[in-house]
Amino acid sequence: MKLSDMRQLLAQRGIQLTKSLGQNFLHDQNQLRRIVAQAALQPGDRVLEIGPGLGPLTELLVAQAGEVLAIEKDGRLAKVLGERVQAPHLRLVHDDALEWLRREPRDWTGWKLVANLPYSVASPLLVELARAPLGPERLVATLQLEVAQRLMARAGEGDYGLLTLLVQLEYEPLGSFRIPSSCFFPEPEVDSACVTLVRRSAPLVPAGSRDVFCRIVKRAFSQRRKVMAKLLKQDWPAAAIEQALSSLGLPPRCRAEEVSLDQFARLTRLLHSETQCECR
């Protein structure tokens, strides 16, 4: 689907795109093919697409995957997509994807996310999928460049933070590539990037410790300029914090951005016995 086709179709249907929904459609065919290539699709693969819009990516996915589940919030676009892309192995859902995922938890084993995610909800969508007990085996997502950089960051880098850890706990970053704003319609004010992450073969923390990990990193990054130990002492005994940091070889006055994912995972195992808490 070319840019001219998008403009014509939207004009014919009288559809004015909504900025609040993050409706920026990727029309560059080369970039679309690069995204699909990152998914390494096989004929029997099942694919989740969120925010398909008019379906330029959907067309490629339907041609290569065994099953495609596309979730579109905008009823106008869902109607157009249902008319444009018709295939027995395509299921189109008209719903808010984030609400749908929370309302209908499921086993995503064997699935792959391949999507040009709406900017407005990209981060919570990825966190929701990462926190699923059985998440997709691969995430290939196009999103705002600064969000992509946070997803790919390492300890000590400026983009390293809460989003990094919540997603990387379950997914290992493979790579990313930049997509200029000129490849989208309407053209956004910022560039985008496509990131690829694969589910870890072995968990970094036991399933029962996930909520503890989440609570630790949320507290640790609640005030980035503050010493991490002082923040964690709001939820855990001071002696336990001091002993845990010492056993990890971390200085007492370290800050959260200096602590690696592996160190946070080990810290979780050390503190789990001290309390039971839920991640909110």
Contact 120, 20 (CB under 8 A): yes
- What local confidence, expressed as pLDDT, does residue 137 receive? 97
Query: Does the residue 280 lie in any domain?
Result: no
Long-range contacts of 78-85 (CB under 8 A, 24+ apart): 80/9, 80/13, 80/15, 80/54, 80/55, 81/52, 81/53, 81/54, 81/55, 84/54, 84/55, 85/55, 85/58, 85/59
- The DSSP output letter for 275 is -
168, 199, 230 - which closes a domain:
199
Query: Which domain covers residue 9, as residue numbers?
Result: 3-199
Return the pLDDT at 272: 87
265 lies in a domain? yes
Same domain, 120 and 214: no
Domain closes at, from 171, 199, 227: 199
Q: How confident is the model at residue 279, as a pLDDT?
A: 44
If asked whether residues 258 and 160 sit together in one domain, one would say: no
pLDDT tens digit sequence for 79-92? 999 999 999 999 99
Is-contact 280 127, C-beta < 8 A? no
No. of H helices and E strands in the chain? 12, 9
Per DSSP, the residues of 168-229 read HTTEEEEEEEEE-GGGEESPPSS-EEEEEEEE-SS-SS-GGGHHHHHHHHHHHTSSTTS-HH
Q: pLDDT class for 276, splitting at 50, 70, 90?
A: very low
Nearest Cα neighbor of 260 from 171, 165, 189 is: 165
Q: Residues near 280 by Cβ (< 8 Å), separated by ≥ 6?
A: none
Same domain for 56 and 112, yes or no, is yes
> Looking at the 3D structure of the chain, how many domains does it have?
2
- Residue 188 confidence (pLDDT) above 50: yes
Same-domain status, 229 and 175: no
Sequence letter at residue 123: S
Task: Single out the residue in 155, 172, 199 at which a domain terminates.
Answer: 199
DSSP state, 259?
S
**Rounded distance between C-alpha atoms, residue 25 and residue 54, angstroms:** 8
Residues 149 and 215 in one domain: no
pTM value is 0.92
Within a domain: 279: no
3-state DSSP call for residue 43?
Answer: coil
Same domain, 30 and 65: yes
**pLDDT value of residue 219:** 97
Map residue 134 onto helix, strand or coil. coil
28 and 45 co-located in one domain: yes
In a domain? residue 28: yes
Same domain, 10 and 83: yes
| Of 97, 86, 105, 106, nearest in space to 124 by CA | 97
> In this structure, which amino acid lies at residue 19?
K
pLDDT band at 275 (very low <50, low <70, confident <90, very high): low
DSSP-based three-state secondary structure for 94? strand
Q: Is residue 173 a part of any domain in this protein? A: yes
Cis peptide before 52 (omega within 30 of 0): no
Q: In the prediction, which pLDDT does 158 show?
A: 94
